[in-house]
Amino acid sequence: MKIIDGHIHIGKWSNIFFNYETTVSQAIDIMKSSGVEAAVCLPTDATPNEKLFNEIKGQKEFKFYFAAWINPEDKELDGFLEKNLRGISLFKIHPSVQKKRVTDNSYKKYIESALENKKPVVIHCGRWKEVASYEHALELSKKYPDLKIILAHLGGDQPSLYLECASEVKKINSNNIYLGTESVREFYFVNKVVKTVGADKVIFGSDYNLGLPKMYIPIVESLDITESDKELIFSGNLLRILNNA
């Protein structure tokens, strides 16, 4: 079974994770020893896009899809995107770190660029509902129905949030809304999410360097679905949206 990790971080975190830092070669070792063949790689909040982008570009050992961290206050961002757009596979928005809802006006030009250049957008969704609720991400999707979005942490990293998110996603019934499994532990409820939205809407991720693929691979393996549906979650869905991008 082909496994792609749909959500890993490499680099250094700020104080939110006590300046913890990992390197590209550490990530490659972990991915390979976990049976992961490729990964969507995001910087951390204290690592510039350009630094990580150049580091992964310079190696041939492992396939990475780069996701650019969209911080509208980053003075280097526009130049970086302009120069490297072709090598960037996705955009990533973290409303909690940036303390701005994904619907904030400062994200608008990046959302429109993602749409125009067919880049899926990974949106962190969390428990800070006022700023990082999946509801804001779904509101964005209503405004831009052709934008491909991946709601990280299944839309909230807590069963009470992600079960609710799954039923909203089902109601919208869009082919452009996906749910990422990174850091979600409650396998029984993950199964319910997959039954609600369908295996073709769920994307495996580990949230490495915070989690490990081996912590989360068993959750997908334990789902009460066919092997081919598991393969969709492990890699098929992601490859489909990246290739149609």
Question: What minimum distance in Å lies between the beta carbon of 42 and Zn ion?
Answer: 6
Question: What minimum distance in Å lies between the beta carbon of 138 and Zn ion?
Answer: 19
Report the residue number whose CB is nearest to Zn ion: 207
Question: What minimum distance in Å lies between the beta carbon of 89 and Zn ion?
Answer: 16
Smaller CB distance to Zn ion: residue 150 or 229? 150
Smaller CB distance to Zn ion: residue 62 or 69? 69
Q: Which stretch binds Zn ion (CB under 5 A): 60-68, 199-207, 220-228, 230-238?
A: 199-207
| Residues 23-82, interacting with Zn ion (CB under 5 A) | none
207 binds Zn ion (CB under 5 A): yes
151 vs 157: CA distance, rounded Å: 10
Q: Which stretch binds Zn ion (CB under 5 A): 98-106, 115-123, 133-141, 201-209?
A: 201-209
Tell me phi and psi for residue 7, to 5 degrees: -165, 95
Tell me phi and psi for residue 76, to 5 degrees: -85, -10
Smaller CB distance to Zn ion: residue 6 or 236? 6
Contact 156, 134 (CB under 8 A): yes
Question: What minimum distance in Å lies between the beta carbon of 173 and Zn ion?
Answer: 27
5 binds Zn ion (CB under 5 A): no
Size of the site for Zn ion (CB under 5 A): 1
Q: Which stretch binds Zn ion (CB under 5 A): 71-79, 133-141, 189-197, 203-211?
A: 203-211
Q: Which stretch binds Zn ion (CB under 5 A): 52-60, 103-111, 206-214, 222-230?
A: 206-214
Q: Which stretch binds Zn ion (CB under 5 A): 47-55, 63-71, 207-215, 216-224?
A: 207-215
> How many C-beta neighbours within 10 Å does residue 122 have?
28
What residue ranges bind Zn ion (CB under 5 A)? 207
